[in-house]
Chain A
């Protein structure tokens, strides 16, 4: 924060030169956006690809005229997954870099800390497409300038619960979950759905390691769990699966969407054979599904602008970019923070997105995608729809039913360049 005074001084010199309608982070030629996420450290695998992927899509848009002539600049800040550092880095984005909005800030604890300490709502800073599924962020009164993108963990657990009841009846069930609002969201939904686990193992975020995974596997095996549901991050999934493989413990795995990217799991040392047959919940197509127009397009963008190994995180990042551009366009040429929030409320539910389920944005809702389908991993680690075709279920984070979706996903805009207004 030492720089802030100087920064404010500099900023004030330019303030009077801007046009009357000028908004922080917006000039006649540029829109500045910011994201906090772990770029290094134990929690970074996979997550550290989201920002670059988003940026790759923005470069493509910039090369094609930008948004109403303005080019997008995305500033990434490494918070190492530490909430205290997220606060500092977000302050930096707002005060030093003077970003117009946050896009895709990652982590539930992180965003909780940021929202309170930085005062995003009080400052009127839009926070689009939070990379967390905590259902609490759907409280529009408490988070009036924030918008989710992921279906909530509660939705995910409700859909998983329905699957368990329909397909795994009579089997001994185990649950490993992150012992914070992430897992508690899931736990509450499983309980409400009437699913009882024979072995329940909470773990505290940050304690995941091969050593702790050893104790999880021992407990699961001792409890005779035949089906193990996992609600945690990839850096916890990996040691769990790797240790289980070493111990020849092979239950039916059901992996939550957050911690199941095959490429990242393999990079973290999980033998691909272990992934074969693992079930997972997903809201997006497989990143290898080149029949999907979004995936195909994003792969091309990745090849040209990013050159990362294309996986769920890259797909997610590029899709966040696509949605961001639509939001900016919907807010109009006279871009303001208030206008962006209004655009999200009024038009956000119509945005094109790779996700298979409807978007829940409205004047009274900041909920993003609302559903999942069940997928199974194959011998190569690729993800295929369970039962051969994508069957999406939607629900809410409360007591609403789990229903088969009839939603038809909007087509990818021509050349991947939104023209909405």
Chain B
């Protein structure tokens, strides 16, 4: 997922895959078991493949200090996306290895004497189980190649964050510390979030979207790509309708909801889709708070309470819906059948609290009830139990870590929502409580070390920009804390420094040193009292 994000989802047709921008360019000629190494500018780069044919890249400076960073990249679709599909057109499946978040960070780490290593993984899509094995083998190969290696730390983003957390839980002897960043959740909640978003778009805006239960082989691929087109067509229609009349935007022509429901602004349906899926209500350019200057006070309040949140939902749902189609197709391929099931989902209960806070955006109680009645009356998606069982057998997080881990995410990440990080924190908290209870029972008086450090990137209070004409300006960069894995080089380097400290000391940095470190990096918050909203679908 790291490689797919919208920077300007309100200009969907101009957005292209960011894959080529974020993957570090690494020579991939050598695919043999033994790495092929070259040295240039005091950096030795070795490329090769692990036993599962996954290409990897190792980079080590001449002044290697013995510590290496194993990076796990994010989700890349396992199928090509044909040209012409907004946002994704032209993507081809690639397993180019990626030893760090970006070239700048890799360069900075090498300059500090660290080594970096990363795989491109043998299979794309949801590949956590195989990627974990690949990474374990890769660490062995690195140590064999660079015998001065003394410490290995793991980090990764999005799906790579999931893999990193799993490595920390499963391989404490192999890693000194780990940093799962903007981590994906276990696959079941991930598919619930994605499935809810996709089913909501289908139900409200285009019932011809298949949304899952894709056919086998080429036919299923065509169905999934067709869904992508339909989803972005619907979102494009909404975008145009919002621009034309933000107060009461029209419903897409493809929508088949009853006319009485169409009296409710379509923007409210989109807000409901976001809320019921657990998608945040702050997006790259919309803070759900600001209004253009110069509006009459009553119009400004309406913009703040109803219009801005709808634009936020539009940007964020576009991100989530794309993931939904691609991941659903992928997981169904792996599991052998439909994996999303909402036959027992009570969407009314799902938004029981949120509907009060977002009442205006949802067009009040009557608007909310009207929209929920559509969901209640619509056919539900039913999963294949055998496929669900297979999906549930895939790697998942226990939260039980014995090595220092550093978690960091934006609280308004629309793809890997902050609840994912919270879910792991809660699991660790339960584990820690168990450990402490057991220790006390055994007569221990000293609390066990808390190995988990959670950091958050909160968006600013207000960041929506408007043009001089009063229109939202989506040409500016995404706000900090929003968008998917939207980190700065300073933040990456702060995480890297924290990992190095933890590797050297066996515990996470704390106290004034930690606070100074994150303050200097900017937009990193340590707040032990904060708990990210967690949807019921996490099951804990």
Contact = CB atoms under 8 A, between A and B. Distances in A.
B300 interface: yes
Interface in B274-303: 281-282, 287-289, 296-302
Interface stretch (B124-132, B145-153, B315-323, B357-365): B357-365
Given A82-B289, A204-B306, A42 B519 contact: no
B533 A117 contact: yes
Interface size class of A (residues with CB under 8 A): 35 or more
B527 A95 contact: yes
Given A83-B358, A202-B366, A9 B527 contact: no
Interface string A23-50: 0000000000000000001110000000
B364 A204 contact: yes
Given A42-B298, A82-B305, A206-B304, A180 B288 contact: no
Given A41-B297, A112-B353, A117-B533, A2 B460 contact: yes
A146 B533 CA distance: 20
Contact of A207 (B288, B302, B458, B529): B302
B519 A202 contact: no
Interface in A83-114: 83-85, 88-89, 91, 94-95, 108-110, 112-113
A319 interface: no
Given A84-B288, A88-B461, A184 B301 contact: no
A12 B511 contact: yes
Interface residues of B, number: 49
Contact of A179 (B367, B519, B526): B367
Contacts of B522: 2
Contact of B357 (A5, A9, A83, A94): A83
Nearest to A120: B529
Contact of A116 (B305, B511, B533): B533
Given A5-B524, A5-B526, A184-B365, A205 B519 contact: no
A243 B498 CA distance: 63
A8 B512 CA distance: 9
A245 B171 CA distance: 76
A181 interface: yes
Nearest to B457: A1
Contacts of A112: 353, 356-357
Contact of A205 (B299, B305, B516): B305
Contacts of B511: 12
B518 interface: yes
Interface string A173-209: 0000011110110000000000000000011111111
A179 B365 contact: yes
Contacts of A404: none
A397 interface: no
B137 to A, nearest CB: 38
Given A41-B301, A84-B288, A5 B365 contact: no
B530 interface: yes
B360 A85 contact: no
Contacts of A204: 306, 359-360, 363-364, 367
A122 interface: yes
A109 B356 contact: yes
Given A119-B529, A122-B529, A12 B298 contact: no
B523 interface: yes
Given A42-B300, A122-B529, 8 more contacts: A1-B460, A1-B481, A2-B460, A84-B309, A117-B533, A136-B356, A202-B366, A205-B305
Task: State the 8 A-B residue pairs at the shortest beta-carbon distance, nearest first.
Answer: A179-B364, A1-B458, A113-B357, A9-B515, A180-B359, A42-B297, A206-B305, A42-B301
28 contacts: A6-B515, A12-B515, A41-B297, A41-B304, A42-B300, A80-B304, A81-B301, A81-B305, A83-B357, A84-B287, A84-B288, A84-B309, A85-B289, A85-B461, A109-B360, A112-B357, A119-B531, A180-B356, A180-B364, A181-B365, A204-B306, A204-B359, A205-B305, A206-B304, A206-B305, A208-B298, A209-B299, A235-B298
Interface of A: 1-2, 4-6, 8-9, 12-13, 41-43, 80-85, 88-89, 91, 94-95, 108-110, 112-113, 116-117, 119, 122-123, 134, 136, 178-181, 183-184, 202-209, 235
